[in-house]
Amino acid sequence: MIQFRIDGRSGVAPYLQLVQQVRHALRLGLLHEGDQLPTVKEVVAQVAINPNTVLKAYRELEYEGLATGRRGVGTFVTKSLVDTSFAAQGPLRHDLERWLAKARRMGLDEDSIRALFEDTFQVLMTEDVA
């Protein structure tokens, strides 16, 4: 079962944080298609937030096609975002190795490579949310 956290100081609206965390869990394979998301009651008991915030987050997930609500039963995941087959990961790893070699040839040291990667990663993640 997914565990939610709300960061009051992140500047991101609470309901969006919930949506993000669901997407993240889907990508990591912690949630699969057909899994039930925690009920509103369970979420607010875990994270002391307004139930309407949870409802709003779940509506957003429905809108994005990631989940669907079944009356009287709960909210269920409808789409997976991760492809866990090794076959898919292999080419990704190969591409990454090539990129790293290229960065080394250009003269970047370890810290610069790390900084470049994290910076780009952050931008991509924020774009994702917006």
Placement of tokens 């970047």 in the chain: 108
Is 14 a binding residue for another protein by CB under 8 A? The answer is: yes
23/82 Cα distance (integer angstroms): 10
Q: What are phi and psi for residue 37, nearest 5 degrees?
A: -75, 155
Of residues 44 and 81, the one with the C-beta less far from another protein:
44
Residue 1 · residue 38 · CB < 8 Å? yes
Identify which range of 18-26, 34-42, 74-82, 100-108 contacts another protein by CB under 8 A: 34-42
What is the token pair recorded at 12? Answer: 């991101």
Q: How many residues bind another protein (CB under 8 A)?
A: 17
Is 50 a binding residue for another protein by CB under 8 A? The answer is: yes
For another protein, the binding residues (CB under 8 A) are 6, 8, 14, 39-41, 44-54
